[in-house]
């Protein structure tokens, strides 16, 4: 039976049976009973409303833009502007929506369309563009692209483990796709195990591109652009080509390839097979050594032939999307700085998650300090700070210190000096105890976004043959930023394909699935290095609800104890159970040791 048949069998059961099966002897290290009455908070009502109202809107969106096979209804193209990655991005945030507690129907439809698109883009072939002639997807994976676009196309797959970790097709792909970057597929030599590098910034299931890339490699086959709305502003195919003319330097390892570390991390989270952790640490430690040799700054070009930073000309800032990449935009006729260094932080996140070793955030902090050490004085006595580096030195000056990754760095370290680097952030102000109205404001903002997006796709009268894959992306109704921040104490993942950074998350042991049970609201109001404060409330006036609270998205944080009403109970594990009497609620203070447990996608009752 092939992977698609396996998935269809699961879908016919309205998702995995394990998600809805009765509890059979599930236990947790500690059980807390909450019986104190709590008037229903407005934030909890808004959470439940947002979880419920997104479901019909998302299903309507899918029905409009995808057919019964799960195929996207648009003009199918290869390309960095409007290629396969955008079709998959149309379902951004659906996995988190289900993992938060929304209906199983969300995951059922998501899985159907996700698998449909893999089949669709495997069938779709280019004519002139070399890498796509056997299928834009080959071996069910993107044939050749850079890890900005690979990551965007995988941003939903990488979060599926939050809800369906035992789905056979998910486990099989997680391991097989990791193997594409670990030397396990001899026909796909992306990785050099001796030099510990990925051989090109253009790679995939067809292997690395070791020649200079052409504009055609990036853009895809010719088409009549005038018949479409091109989201990047081009009005002719010639402008498409002109846009990518400067993107020829791609051979060699690149900090963008650190996004690829999510694939072995996905595989490691399944069963802790040592080879995945070993590959991750080997690759990331090689990058830390390069940073140290390069004055603390991660290079964007490492020669694939000998591992030399910057190659024979010592251009450590080289390659497309690198530190020195400032091409001409043919639409605006202006140079644009396109340093994609923010994506590289994904590798540091994965290494910290899997190892718990603080040397990875320490290296990112050292890079922030190294970049800002090159600040220069201005005529008015102030300083300006660089963001780019080329043959003439640092450039791309700005009035504020370079702080790429500052939010993530603070989240990992919880250090005051890291917090000071993060600029205005309403959520952090709330966690500081200075913005008590934030939960209701943020949830209402997402409800308004849901209404706006739903109205947008309902009024869209475009014909499928005149749509590009990214034309409907802004209409995706999933609106989960506030839910992730407030319920999980999480940094909402962006477009890079990163895994989830969250302080807690929840499971429903009665329905054997991820997410809070019906009627339950959750609010994280304080985050510290060793302390997390959250409130749980049961809005049902008649039913008791049981919820499992886990430390971290993947159980990576050990919960030492939980305090309720001045009384503490020992936990000493990554999770515990709370029984909420009808109409009850309580504020809980969790003492935690962060990054102290091996992360896993297994649900608590399967460990």
Q: Which of 552, 587, 585, 550 is nearest to 571 (CA)?
A: 550
**120-168, pLDDT tens digit by residue?**
999 999 999 999 999 999 999 999 999 999 999 999 999 999 999 999 9
Quote the Cα angle for 536-542-545, to 5°. Answer: 40
Tokens 């014909």 correspond to: 463
- Alpha helices of 13-137 — where are they, by DSSP H? 17-20, 42-65, 84-89, 94-100, 104-123
Spatial neighbors of 247 by CB under 8 A, at least 6 apart, are 213, 215, 218, 320, 327
Coil, helix or strand at residue 271 = helix
User: What end-to-end distance do the CA atoms of the chain give, in Å?
Assistant: 28
Can you give the pLDDT at residue 11?
46
| CA 87/CA 387 separation, integer angstroms | 31
545-551 vs 575-580, strand pairing mode: antiparallel
| Digit-coded pLDDT (tens) for 321-340 | 999 999 999 999 999 999 99
**Residue environment code for 27-53, b if the CB has 16+ CB neighbours within 10 A, otherwise e:** ebebebebeeebebbebbebbbebbeb
pLDDT at 233: 85
Q: Please, which residues bridge with residue 251 across strands?
A: 200
Task: Pull the structure tokens for residue 549.
Answer: 């609270």
Q: How far apart are CA 423 and CA 403, in angstroms?
A: 9
How many residues are listed for the chain in this entry? 607
Q: Which residues in the chain show pLDDT less than 50?
A: 1-8, 10-27
Question: Does pTM top 0.85 for this prediction?
Answer: yes
pLDDT of residue 28: 52
| Phi and psi torsions of 590, nearest 5° | -105, 125
CA distances from 419 to 179, 411, 572 (A): 37, 8, 28
What span, in angstroms and rounded, lies between the C-alpha atoms of 289 and 333?
39
Cα separation, 316 vs 303, whole angstroms? 9
Please tell me the distance from the alpha carbon of residue 264 to that of residue 277, in angstroms, as a whole number: 7
Q: What is the CA radius of gyration of the chain?
A: 24
């Amino acid at each position: 039976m092939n992977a698609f048949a396996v998935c269809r069998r699961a879908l016919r059961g309205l998702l995995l049976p394990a998600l809805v099966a009765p509890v059979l002897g599930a236990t947790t290290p500690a059980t807390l009973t909450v019986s104190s009455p709590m008037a229903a908070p407005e934030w909890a009502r808004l959470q439940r409303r947002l979880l419920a109202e997104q479901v019909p809107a998302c299903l309507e969106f899918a029905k409009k833009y995808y057919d019964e096979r799960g195929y996207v209804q648009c003009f199918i193209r290869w390309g960095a502007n409007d290629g396969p990655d955008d079709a998959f991005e149309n379902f951004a945030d659906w996995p988190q929506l289900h993992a938060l507690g929304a209906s199983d129907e969300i995951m059922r439809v998501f899985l159907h369309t996700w698998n449909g698109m893999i089949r669709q883009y495997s069938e779709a072939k280019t004519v002139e563009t070399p890498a796509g002639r056997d299928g834009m997807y080959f071996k069910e994976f993107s044939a050749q692209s850079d890890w900005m676009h690979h990551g965007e196309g995988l941003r939903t797959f990488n979060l599926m483990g939050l809800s369906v970790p035992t789905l056979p097709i998910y486990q099989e792909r997680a391991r097989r796709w990791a193997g594409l970057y670990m030397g396990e597929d001899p026909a796909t030599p992306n990785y050099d195990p001796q030099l510990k590098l990925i051989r090109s910034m253009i790679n995939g299931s067809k292997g690395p591109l070791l020649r200079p890339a052409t504009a055609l490699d990036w853009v895809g086959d010719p088409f009549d652009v005038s018949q479409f709305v091109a989201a990047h502003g081009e009005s002719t195919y010639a402008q498409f080509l002109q846009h990518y003319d400067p993107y020829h330097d791609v051979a060699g390892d690149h900090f963008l390839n650190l996004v690829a570390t999510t694939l072995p991390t996905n595989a490691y989270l399944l069963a802790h097979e040592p080879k995945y952790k070993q590959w991750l640490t080997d690759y990331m430690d090689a990058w830390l050594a390069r940073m140290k040799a390069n004055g603390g700054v991660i290079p964007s070009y490492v020669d694939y032939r000998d591992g030399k930073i910057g190659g024979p000309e010592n251009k450590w800032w080289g390659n497309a999307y690198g530190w020195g990449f400032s091409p001409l935009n043919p639409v605006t006729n202006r140079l644009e700085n396109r340093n994609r260094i923010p994506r590289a932080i994904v590798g540091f996140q994965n290494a910290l998650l899997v190892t718990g070793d603080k040397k990875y955030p320490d290296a990112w902090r050292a890079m922030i300090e190294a970049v800002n050490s090159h600040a220069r004085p201005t005529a008015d006595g102030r300083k300006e700070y660089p963001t780019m580096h080329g043959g003439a030195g640092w450039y791309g000056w700005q009035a504020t210190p370079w702080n790429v990754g500052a939010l993530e760095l603070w989240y990992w370290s919880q250090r005051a000096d890291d917090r000071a680097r993060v600029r205005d952030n309403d959520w952090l102000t709330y966690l500081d105890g200075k913005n008590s109205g934030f939960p209701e404001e943020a949830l209402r903002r997402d409800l308004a976004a849901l209404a706006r997006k739903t109205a947008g796709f309902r009024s869209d009268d475009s014909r499928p043959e005149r749509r590009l894959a990214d034309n409907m992306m802004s209409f995706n109704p999933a609106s989960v930023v506030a839910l992730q921040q407030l319920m999980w104490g999480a940094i909402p993942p962006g477009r890079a394909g990163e895994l989830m950074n969250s302080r807690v998350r929840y499971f429903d042991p009665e329905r054997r699935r991820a997410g809070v049970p019906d009627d339950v609201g959750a609010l994280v109001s304080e985050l510290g290095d060793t302390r997390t404060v959250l409130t749980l409330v049961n809005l049902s006036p008649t039913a008791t609800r049981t919820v499992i609270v886990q430390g971290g998205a993947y159980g990576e944080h050990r919960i030492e104890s939980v305090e309720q009403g001045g009384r503490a109970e020992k936990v000493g594990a990554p999770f515990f159970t709370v029984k909420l009497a009808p109409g009850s609620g309580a504020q809980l203070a969790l003492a935690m040791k962060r990054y102290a447990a091996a992360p896993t996608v297994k649900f608590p009752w399967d460990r």
